[in-house]
Amino acid sequence: MKKQLIGMVLCTAGGSALAAVADDVKSLLEKGQPRQAYELGKASPGEMGQPLFDFYFGIAALDAGAPGEGVLALERYALLFPDNRSARYQLARGYYILGEDQRAREEFTGLVAGSTGQELDAINKFLDAIRARESRYQPTASAYVELGLGTDSNINAGPPSGQVSGLPLGVVIAPGDSAEKESAGFSTLAAGAQGTYPVAPGVALYGGVGATGRLYQGGGNSQFDQRSLALQGGVSVIGGRNLYRFGIDWNKLTVDNQNYLSLTTLVGEWQYQNDQFNRFGLSAQWSDLNYDNILTYLTKNKSGAPVLSATDERDSRLATLTGFWTRSLVHPWNPVLNLSLNAGRESNRRNRDDLSRNLWGGRVSLSAQPRARWTVAGGLSYQNSRYAREFAVGAPHRQDDFCALDLAVIYAVDRNWSVRGEYQYTDQRSNIGFYQYDRDVLAVKLRYDFK
């Protein structure tokens, strides 16, 4: 087909040939074939400078991964037709792809006044992306507040009552035990802020703070209420296509208003932007986990006196290495594919080798924008854990296989307000029944972003 089109162009003379090539490039674009459209245009160098050809060839070049050629063609067109909004939008998009943020912002900002609907939504997304990239050379800050309601089929990640698999007969979870699977509704509140501060060309400090809370409904379910506080900070360095990030994260988790876990993590990350479609990276983390020996109840209704949980026996250090690949696909829905693999080792610090493990896993996720203001996303995760010592005398070494499916639908009401629906299904298989469970969590959240 491409050879036939090129042959037809070469064999046709005069103004009709000029229109024919432009029409053919346009037709291929409409069919979602930007690479073929670009190649057809490249095979017709005599058409360069013809306005209609420049317009469609410029778009094809942007979508085919040749933004430099696309911008040149669109600039030629815009000089002749400066009031054409579509051409100015495509030209701004080309500047953005090339990393010329100042020129891209000027073009997009000039289009905002007369834009509505999908066009305005698209322009605002580019402006937000430009603002995020500008953190390389000027201070930026953002914040958010989020409220939510949901339902959780297994708030304590517990198995059903009955005999515990993998252990001797008579080891059971009785109905009403706090370890028994329990469902409840919940409410959530989250807030956070983050910012960057450049200190030299390509070098910036970053930091952030976030807090979340989840409160469960039901008389005794408050013993599973959770609150967390997270702080992070570090430095990022950009050199060519490489991004390096070094930082420290600190997290505090409370359960039933008691300090449960303090987690300190050192992070090192490298990202490589191969082209406008592909990004690769590696991340190394070293974490120190410190648990508190909190008071807990043996029953769901919190009857009887509380007992010590002995969770401080879980103190450990965790080292992980993760490799990832992000692929942006050429499609009107702007799909983005993410793949990652990880491996690590958790070492218990209380001489409890039954709590030390080797782990590995992976994740695949995909996000897309099928319509203006709408974003859909989904992912599959897997984590394999093999523990270093038998769970108890006469019991096998513990082995877990964790699988999770997560789905989300987000509607942007405007630049600040958004509504999010979330669903997550979790299934952990274990040869020790205490740790085998399944879980469904469904939530709806309202969020406000300060920009």
Residue 44 maps to a domain: no
Q: How far is the C-alpha of 100 from the C-alpha of 366, rounded, in Å?
A: 28
Q: With beta carbons less than 8 A apart as the criterion, state whether 274 and 250 touch.
A: no
* Residue 135: predicted pLDDT: 64
Query: Residue 247 belongs to what domain range?
Result: 137-450
CATH number at residue 320: 2.40.160.40
pLDDT score recorded for residue 377:
97
Q: Secondary structure of the chain: what % helix, strand, coil (to 5)? A: 30, 45, 25
92: nearest Cα among 136, 43, 127: 127
Q: How far is Cα 8 from Cα 19, in angstroms, rounded to an integer?
A: 12
Domain count, the chain: 1
Residue 374 lies in a domain: yes
What residue ranges of the chain have pLDDT lower than 70?
Answer: 1-19, 134-137
Question: CB under 8 Å to 71, separation ≥6 — which residues?
Answer: 58, 62, 91, 94, 95, 98
Task: For residue 332, give the 3-state DSSP assignment.
Answer: coil
Please give the Cα distance from 329 to 83 (Å, whole number).
30
Is residue 193 in a domain? yes
Tell me the DSSP string of 97-120. Answer: HHT-HHHHHHHHHHHHTT--HHHH
- Residue 410 tokens, joined: 């987000």
Half-sphere exposure in the Cβ direction for 107 (13 Å, CA): 26
CA torsion angle for 18, 23, 24, 30 (degrees, to 10)?
A: 160
pLDDT digits (tens, 9 = 90+) for 325-342: 999 887 888 899 999 999
- Separation of alpha carbons 369 and 333, rounded Å: 5
Residue 86 lies in a domain: no
The amino acid at residue 289 is L
Measuring CA to CA, how many Å separate 111 from each of 60, 100, 159, 310? 22, 17, 57, 62
Q: For all residues of the chain together, what is the average pLDDT? A: 89
417 domain residue, yes or no: yes
Q: Is 315 inside any structural domain?
A: yes
The reported pLDDT for the residue numbered 451 is: 78
* Per-residue model confidence as pLDDT tens digits over 220-255: 899 999 999 999 999 998 887 888 999 999 999 999
298 and 177 in contact (C-beta within 8 Å)? Answer: yes
- The answer to the question of residue 383 being in a domain is yes
Q: For the packed helices 51-64 and 85-98, what is the interaxial angle rounded to 10 degrees?
A: 40
The whole-number pLDDT of residue 194 equals: 94
User: Which has the closest alpha carbon to 197: 189, 187, 207, 188?
Assistant: 207
Q: Is residue 303 part of a domain?
A: yes
Residues pairing with 340 in the sheet: 324, 363
| Percent of the chain whose predicted confidence (pLDDT) is above 70 | 95
Confirm if 344 and 318 have CB atoms less than 8 A apart: yes
